[in-house]
Structures are given as C-alpha cells and as structure tokens.
Amino acid sequence: MRPLTEEETKVVFEKLANYIGRNISFLIDNPSNPHVFRLQKDRVYYVSEHIAKFATSVSRQQLMSLGTCFGKFTKTGKFRLHITALPYMAQYAKFKVWIKQNGEMPFLYGNHVLKAHIGRMSEDIPEHAGVVVLSMHDVPLGFGVSAKTTNEARNLQPTGIVAFRQGDIGEYLREEDTLFT
C-alpha cells in the first residue's frame, strides 16, 4: 500500500470530477475525519488516514484490501471506477437521473437507461457528463454517462438511450468472482 503518485492522483481526480465536480474536496478535506487515497496493487482505496497509518505495519503481500475500493487502474493506465464507490458518488453527485420502478430491473441487468424509464432528471445535464442513477425512492442504483443533454432527452423517443451504464449494483452478483480479486 502506497500513496498515489501525482500522475495517478490527477487521473483519479479527473474521473471523479466527471461525476462529483468540485465536491471532491468534501472527500479529502474533512478536518474531523481526514481520508486519503492509497494504491494496493492496481486498486485505489479510499481510507481513513488513521487506519492507513495502522496499515503500514502490514506487509504488501499480506494486505488484501483497505477501506473502500474506488476503482482500479487498467494496464493502459486509465482509471475505471468500481461500483463500490457509489455511496460516495451518490452523496456528492452533480447530475442525477431517477428511473421509474419498471426501469430498475433492466438497468440492474446491465442495460442502458432509456427515455421510457426516466422518472425525472437534473436540470442542465451536458452531453457525456457523469450521472448517478437513482430509484424514485432515492436509492443509488449505479452510475453512467449521459448520452444526451437534458433538453435533447425530453424530445427523444421512448426507446432512445438517455444514459450509458458504467456500473450498477447488479455487478455485486454478476461479477462476484472477480470484483474483489
């Protein structure tokens, strides 16, 4: 386990900024309970600074995980967010999309968000912006990237894609063998 390099931090923060914008400061600038990002193998963990200090006494080979896994670096150096980061992203998200109950299951099975399934959405969502997908009861279901702006989405046909799925809570079941390895 080690701190992220400057380049790695930049890549992680750019990805997070797509979803939560300037609210990244709320993740790390909490004076009562400061948190840090740490890298273990290729995975980035969000962990309390206090616990991270204790973890330094454990060897890298023996340490499996620490804190909340926010994502992992691919072999090409890109950062891919994991569904385990959803509670933090939902809390600080700039743009949100609420889907109706009839659209929850298709989304949780790995499909994109269709216009027919939209209950409501945040105003002024730009194209290709990060969005958090919620149920109508404000339960975070996943995250994705907007396919259209808010105004364009209003004029779409019911089968038009509003948001491309990047991750959903159905991954816990579909990818349980590889999610934490």
Q: Which domain CATH number covers 133?
A: 2.30.130.10
Q: Are residues 41 and 111 in the same domain?
A: no
DSSP helix/strand/coil, 37 = strand
| pTM reported for the whole predicted model | 0.88
Summarised one tens digit per residue, pLDDT across range 137-165 is 999 999 999 999 999 999 999 999 999 99
**Can you give the pLDDT at residue 150?**
92
Q: 3-55, pLDDT tens digit by residue? A: 999 999 999 999 999 999 988 888 888 888 899 999 988 899 999 998 888 88
- Rounded distance between C-alpha atoms, residue 145 and residue 130, angstroms: 5
Please give the helix or strand (H or E) that residue 70 lies within, else none: strand 68-73
User: Which residues contact residue 131 at a Cβ distance below 8 angstroms, ignoring those fewer than 6 apart?
Assistant: 19, 93, 95, 96, 97, 121, 122, 125, 143, 144, 145, 146, 163
Is 42 found in the same domain as 77?
yes
> Of 88, 103, 124, which residue constitutes the final position of a domain?
88
**Using 50, 70 and 90 to split pLDDT, how confident is the model at 59?**
confident
Q: Which domain holds residue 74?
A: 2-88
